[in-house]
Amino acid sequence: MSETMKAAIFVKPGQMAVEEVPKARLEQDDDAVVRVVRACVCGSDLWYFRGLSPHPEHAQIGHESIGVVEEVGSAVTSVKSGDFVVLPFPYSCGKCPVCKAGFESVCPHGGYFGASQAEYVRVPEADGTVVKVPGSPEDYDDATLASLLTIADVMSTGYHAAVSAEVKPGDTAVVMGDGAVGLCGVLSAHMLGAKRIIAMSRHEDRAAVAREFGATDIVAERDQAAIDKVLEMTGGYGADAVLECVGSKQSFDTAIGLIRRGGVIGRVGLPHDVEISAEGTFYGNIGIKGGPAPVRHYDLQSGLLDTVVKGEINPGRVFTAEFDLDHIQEAYEAMDQRKVIKSLIRF
């Protein structure tokens, strides 16, 4: 009889379960298997939980985790059993022109993890995917482990929003969305030198983290009122950079309304019914950039891993509740009901 492991199961919208499933195992020479130490629930998982986006029923789920390499395939050279790694939400070959250009998240030979809320995860293309962390999990405190977990997705995604929006020192940046990604966007805009960071938030717990991460102003208004407010704050010219971390038509249209001419909207929210006006953006010289975040590029080439390891940033603050895998239903519900910003799963 084959080995089993515990895994979160998406039963149907609104209903999660934990079941014994076949243990993740090597399937290809370039695979690794990782024993998960921390995982978490993503805002995008909530789209499934809320029944707003389709997800296979009675299937595994999850794409954010950190852990320890259990075993590697014969072709894997960059990590070995016992190594501590971050698993970026995309896996990637690491060798093609798309990866070399720093866009591993859209590597045509790669894909996305979808079974990371589990005791073990199979990692395809391990050499092009994993981010090796110095030492072992025991060398880090809980806060640092939480921050390491954020550079599997949420922090790297916020960073992608800021980089895509071309945030420069001295800029006024607006962050649309006060979820965990938006908050990490605030932190990223701060890291890139934005002088004024306007966070759009109407939840005091989130606004508090936004301020801690570097937000200088909180705007609770929405739609035209939000646009008017930001225009008023910027002498009528609009914000130099906008980090669009929601993906709704409402959020995108607001971003268009409040960006300065010549500015760039960095978008990381999965688009839902968003329309981009070819004329409106053209005649304002407004740039649109972004997509799934190239996590590995930012972790290694842009130094997010080092910055977290040295304790210079604490993006793990977005986790405001912790659950074990057996309480995965509660972890989803707490986020769905906005009782927590983001739920961490401890193994």
Query: Does 44 engage in binding with a copy of itself (CB under 8 A)?
Result: no
- The interface with a copy of itself within residues 22-41 (CB under 8 A) comprises none
Only segment of 28-36, 54-62, 93-101, 213-221 that touches a copy of itself (CB under 8 A): 93-101
**From the CB of 274, what's the least distance to a copy of itself, in Å?**
4
- Residue 293: both structure tokens together: 């975040």
Indicate which single residue of 32, 41, 42, 98 sits in contact with a copy of itself (rule: CB under 8 A).
Answer: 98
- Residue 292: both structure tokens together: 């799934």
Angle 209-61-139 from CA coordinates, rounded to 5°:
55
Query: Does 94 engage in binding with a copy of itself (CB under 8 A)?
Result: no
**Among 306, 301, 266, residue whose Cα is nearest residue 104:** 301
Q: What is the signed CA dihedral for 169, 296, 86, 41, rounded to 10 degrees?
A: 80
**From the CB of 235, what's the least distance to a copy of itself, in Å?**
7
Only segment of 40-48, 56-64, 285-293, 313-321 that touches a copy of itself (CB under 8 A): 285-293
Query: Does 97 engage in binding with a copy of itself (CB under 8 A)?
Result: yes
Distances (CA, A) of 55 to 42, 186, 217, 341: 14, 30, 37, 22
**From the CB of 165, what's the least distance to a copy of itself, in Å?**
11
Q: How far is CA 151 from the centre of its chain?
A: 7
Query: Does 52 engage in binding with a copy of itself (CB under 8 A)?
Result: no
**From the CB of 101, what's the least distance to a copy of itself, in Å?**
5
CB atoms within 10 A of CB 82: 9
Instruction: Please give the Cα distance from 257 to 208 (Å, whole number).
Output: 26
Q: What is the signed CA dihedral for 79, 81, 83, 85, rounded to 10 degrees?
A: 70
Query: Does 54 engage in binding with a copy of itself (CB under 8 A)?
Result: no
Instruction: Please give the Cα distance from 14 to 20 (Å, whole number).
Output: 20
Nearer to a copy of itself, 45 or 83 (CB): 45
Query: Does 102 engage in binding with a copy of itself (CB under 8 A)?
Result: yes
Binding mask 244-283 for a copy of itself (x = CB under 8 A): --------x-------xxxxx--x--xx--xxxxxx-xxx
Instruction: Please give the Cα distance from 177 to 165 (Å, whole number).
Output: 15
CA Rg value for the chain? 20
Indicate which single residue of 75, 101, 143, 225 sits in contact with a copy of itself (rule: CB under 8 A).
Answer: 101
Nearer to a copy of itself, 82 or 235 (CB): 235
**Among 304, 341, 268, 316, residue whose Cα is nearest residue 191:** 304
Indicate which single residue of 114, 257, 287, 303 sits in contact with a copy of itself (rule: CB under 8 A).
Answer: 287
Query: Does 137 engage in binding with a copy of itself (CB under 8 A)?
Result: no
Total residues at interface with a copy of itself (CB under 8 A): 44
Residues at the contact surface with a copy of itself, assessed by CB under 8 A: 96-98, 101-103, 105-108, 164, 234-237, 240, 252, 260-264, 267, 270-271, 274-279, 281-292, 294
